[in-house]
Amino acid sequence: MSAQIMRLLRENPDEADVMIYAGNVDPGAVALLACDVPVVEPRWVDNDEYARFALDFCLRNGIDVLIPSRRLEALAHRAADFAAVGTSLMCAPAAAVRALVDKARTYEIAGAAGVPVPPWRVVSDADELFRAVGELAPAGEKLCIKPSGEYSAFGFRILDDRPLSIAGLLAPPQPVASVDQVAAALRVAAAQGERVPELMVMPYLDAPEVSIDCLSGPGGELLVAIPRAKHGRFRTLLDDPALVDIARRLITGFELPYLSNVQLRYLHGEPVLLEVNPRASAGLFQTAFAGVNLPWSAIRLLLHGDSSQPRTPRLGVRLAVTEAVMEVAAPRPFPAVPARPRPTPAPAVETPALAVETTAMGV
């Protein structure tokens, strides 16, 4: 969770005091300087051990709401365990998480539900790669390749067999690789016994990318959807019912509660699915320019079943993404996280401690 989203939680419309505990596997993560209590999370642990860590942390520190943005597979099926220690878990259902961390499975389910998806092929060796390229781009259309699993942008490459030109050399760098280069890497991995994840080959979709931030009820009923079109450093909050309808079908179909995100791009001028994230996006804070506070509304939904979201979002807004600089203290070892006794149940508008986890939200 970013520092900007933490600010939205503190500047909530109920004027409730919050204490934010944030965790990250990287002790140098900037977001750990923005929270009230930072903690370094274990990095190389399996799902069961991570879940035990999170449960113990919530119990010892009296955490009221846990908002994970990574390791969802470890936590999604443990909501009852967190409830037993007094913590409400803001997480999608385990079945949805399992489907959505596999992009190929996501496309299969979405396509069957009538959501427009691009053509794709799953490959894991050089022969499958050449076959997929021949099937998807017989006339040399631009393709890309990326891991089918949840790897963020890691592993993404535009497939381009053209020789490097002076114009290309002087242009801004792009994540480009030739088909032969990728095939060679796959052959070397196979010869060395290296594990190769499933890779998706698909058309390189046209801009703009549209990121739709969604707020929904516990069963996936879409309450608010704000599409953000990305144009370089600029963003436009779109008023486009057709895009919202695509998001609605996905959020409802996967029964995604609270905060989630749908990403679209364009193929032959029509919007198609890029991916669905069963968690909040890194750019969620930009929706504040629509006059809403979606992170706080999600917490109210989780705790009280009421989003307290009376405003209609202000759309058509154009934003510029700028850099921000802040002074921080010199690096120091993190102290042991202090335990906090669980408070007496409070009135509905009062929200106590929140634990947020920052790695996967692009901090």
Per-residue pLDDT tens for 137-175? 987 789 999 999 866 678 999 999 999 899 989 999 999
pLDDT recorded at residue 152: 65
The secondary structure of 126-185, three-state, reads HHHHHHHHHHHCCCCCCEEEEECCCCCCCCCEEECCCCCCHHHHHCCCCCEECHHHHHHH
Cα 129 to Cα 149: distance, rounded to the nearest angstrom? 17
The pTM of this model reads 0.90
Half-sphere exposure of 92 (CA within 13 A, CB side): 32
pLDDT in tens, 346-356: 444 444 466 65
pLDDT recorded at residue 347: 41
The secondary structure of 100-118, three-state, reads HCCHHHHHHHHHHCCCCCC
Question: pLDDT confidence of 323, banded at 50, 70, 90?
Answer: confident
**Using DSSP, how many helices (H) and how many strands (E) does the chain show?**
11, 16
SS3 219: coil
pLDDT recorded at residue 236: 98
Question: pLDDT confidence of 331, banded at 50, 70, 90?
Answer: low
Cα 234 to Cα 169: distance, rounded to the nearest angstrom? 26
pLDDT in tens, 62-73: 999 999 999 999
User: How much of the chain, in percent, has pLDDT values that exceed 70?
Assistant: 88
Cα 228 to Cα 313: distance, rounded to the nearest angstrom? 12
